[in-house]
Amino acid sequence: MKVVIVGAGNVATHLAKALFERDHQVLQVWSKHEENALALAKAVDAVTIPSLENLELNADLCLVSVKDDAIAAVAEQLGGFKGIVAHTAGAVPLHIFDGKVNNYGVFYPLQTFSKAKDVDFRTIPLCLEANSSDSLNALREVAQTLSQTVREVNSDQRKILHLSAVFACNFVNHMYALADEMLKANNLDFKLIVPLIQETALKVVDNTPGLVQTGPAIRHDEETMVAHQQMLESHPQLLEIYKMVSNSIKNMEI
Amino acid sequence: MKVVIVGAGNVATHLAKALFERDHQVLQVWSKHEENALALAKAVDAVTIPSLENLELNADLCLVSVKDDAIAAVAEQLGGFKGIVAHTAGAVPLHIFDGKVNNYGVFYPLQTFSKAKDVDFRTIPLCLEANSSDSLNALREVAQTLSQTVREVNSDQRKILHLSAVFACNFVNHMYALADEMLKANNLDFKLIVPLIQETALKVVDNTPGLVQTGPAIRHDEETMVAHQQMLESHPQLLEIYKMVSNSIKNMEI
């Protein structure tokens, strides 16, 4: 497939590289951050273009991987595109393209990307949606060359997936960050809890998380929880998080 | 080393098995849950004893791996023990043994254990503390046969480690459980976010978690956060957690 890429951030970069590795042709990269566009174009044997007016309208697929609130404005400029235009955002509905382009869809990789870290794209679920079965089939075809997990997911479900990912990824990382902060303040090395973090994540590969909950809250170990709260007294925000999440654990058990 | 084990829960079981595998001799297992004691004794070629009065007083090490609030009462019955008595709890200070036994310490494996799931003990940090350098050296010697990460950690530091583990393991698992709940309620499969969960955990092996934070809160993407909060309106507890953790993410950035 001939693909053009709008955006050069983390998602655009990982997607473009995965497409390139699977022998798709990445023709052009555009980003308002010219340096990022140049770096990505170089990595996938593409060229950069100075403006969306220079977009190759006969490509098969235009992936729009820009900030959520910039997607509509980009779409306005893609009216002449002959292939399928797809955005890659979890929280943006399909209908953002209505009346702006002809064939369109969503190509949402459910993963967290960092520029510095490679990921195995085959393990990343690709959530697809499109305005027609032809567009959907075309998206599915390219998706299946990248990933072993391809799902059709409508806009409402994708919003739920995105929100659940905020809890299971963004909030989880913040829990790591809070732990790191506590450890650093006491001259303890975050590396000491890294095996625990890995095991906690591995445990839910084969288990329902609610059923493998551990810790003082699920044991109703009030003595330990009171001691923890005393330790957090000088950190009101941590204390509030401690109380609220502990209560939520206790309530879930019921 | 000749070891006796008091307790037959998750920690006792994994520790006893690791000791057995490293060619230590597990002589006896006692637990108030007789069936658990029998199962563990069988697995490590030991015998069960009907009461702590039957404990082999000439063993080298007595590991006390019972509920935090039962440790003191168990220690009261170990006065005649010739070797080292060590508990395995994160949140219980060393001095719980003061005046009760002669040689004592703490042997705290910083990991979450489930009976059904094996873990590679060599990767588990063992945090040691003791009432004398002789006891500490003896604990270190046995610890090093089990794990490649052995640290001397005092009671205050261990309390911090334990509290940070509540955030990085127990609270993290609850975030997974909340995500699971949302997905189930919308007929979506938790397996879809498992690769994301694994990647989020792997990312902090080599990165400071605060520096790899992603998601709407760190981007100050107010539009997405408002949309998420609307989705959570009928779940007040989830909504409160969403707001509080998002705020904590925003505050940490400063």
Distance CA B176, CA A206 (A): 13
Pairing of strands A84-87, A103-109: parallel
Taking only the tens place, the pLDDT of each residue in B142-164 is: 999 999 999 999 999 999 999 99
Mean pLDDT of A36-58: 97
* Mean of pLDDT values over A104-129: 92
| A253: pLDDT strictly greater than 80 | no
pLDDT at res. B116: 75
Q: What is the pLDDT of residue B114?
A: 79
Query: Taking CB atoms and an 8 Å cutoff, what residues of chain B touch A208?
Result: 177, 180, 190
Q: Report angle CA A45, A49, A53 to the nearest 5 degrees.
A: 140
The chain-wide mean pLDDT, for chain A, equals 95
When the pLDDT of each residue in chain B is averaged and rounded to a whole number, the result is 95
Q: Using CB atoms and an 8 Å cut-off, which of residues 180-239 of chain A contact chain B?
A: 180-183, 186-188, 190, 192-205, 207-210, 212-218, 221, 223-224, 227-228, 231-232, 237-238
**Res. A117 pLDDT band, cuts 50 70 90:** confident
Q: Are A85 and A106 contacting, i.e. CB atoms less than 8 angstroms apart?
A: no
Distance from CA of residue B75 to its chain's centroid? 21
Write the pLDDT tens digit of every residue in A143-168: 999 999 999 999 999 999 999 999 99
Q: What percent of chain B has pLDDT over 90?
A: 93
Q: Which residue has the higher pLDDT, A113 or B19?
A: B19
CA distance B198 to chain A (A): 6
pLDDT above 90 (res A142): yes
- Biggest alpha carbon–alpha carbon distance for chain B: 68
SS3 B195: helix
Contacts of A203 in chain B (CB under 8 A): 112, 114, 117, 173
Contacts of A145 (CB under 8 A, 6+ apart): A22, A24
- Write the pLDDT tens digit of every residue in B237-250: 999 999 999 999 99
B161 touches chain A (CB under 8 A): yes
Mapped onto helix, strand or coil, the DSSP state of residue B193 is: helix
Question: Which pLDDT score, from 0 to 100, does residue B117 have?
Answer: 80
Q: Residue B157: which H helix or E strand, with range?
A: helix B155-165
ipTM for this model: 0.92
Which residue, among A164, A230, A233, would best test binding to B if mutated, counting the most B CBs under 10 Å from its CB? Answer: A164
Q: What does the block give as tokens for A147?
A: 């990933």
Contact B90, B161 (CB under 8 A): yes
CA–CA–CA angle B226, B230, B235 (5° rounding):
130
What are the pLDDT digits (tens) for A196-208?
999 999 999 999 9
Those residues with Cβ within 8 angstroms of residue B185's Cβ, 6 or more apart along the chain or in another chain:
none
Query: Would you state the pLDDT for residue B88?
Result: 98
Q: Does B253 contact chain A (CB < 8 Å)?
A: no
A208-241 pLDDT, tens per residue?
Answer: 999 999 999 998 989 899 999 999 999 999 999 9
For B60, phi then psi, to 5°, come to: -80, -30
Backbone angles phi, psi at A44, to 5 degrees: -120, 20
Secondary structure, 3-state, chain A: CEEEEECCCHHHHHHHHHHHHCCCEEEEEECCCHHHHHHHHHHCCCEECCCHHHCCCCCCEEEECCCHHHHHHHHHCCCCCCCEEEECCCCCCHHHHCCCCCEEEEEEECCCCECCECCCHHHCCEEEEECCHHHHHHHHHHHHHHCCCEEECCHHHHHHHHHHHHHHHHHHHHHHHHHHHHHHHCCCCHHHHHHHHHHHHHHHHHCCHHHHCCCCCCCCCHHHHHHHHHHCCCCHHHHHHHHHHHHHHHHHHC
Q: What is the pLDDT of residue B253?
A: 60
Grade residue A115 by pLDDT with cuts at 50, 70 and 90.
Answer: confident
B18 versus A252: the higher-pLDDT residue is B18
Residues A65-96 pLDDT 10s: 999 999 999 999 999 999 999 999 999 999 99
Task: Look at residues B72, B73, B112 and name the one whose alpha carbon lies nearest to residue B92.
Answer: B72
Q: What is the pLDDT of residues B168-216, one digit of tens each?
A: 999 999 999 999 999 999 999 999 999 999 999 999 999 999 999 999 9
DSSP tag of B117: B
Q: Do you know the residue count of chain A? A: 254
Q: B96-139 pLDDT, tens per residue?
A: 999 999 999 999 999 988 777 888 999 999 999 999 999 999 99
CB A77: neighbour CB atoms within 10 A? 16
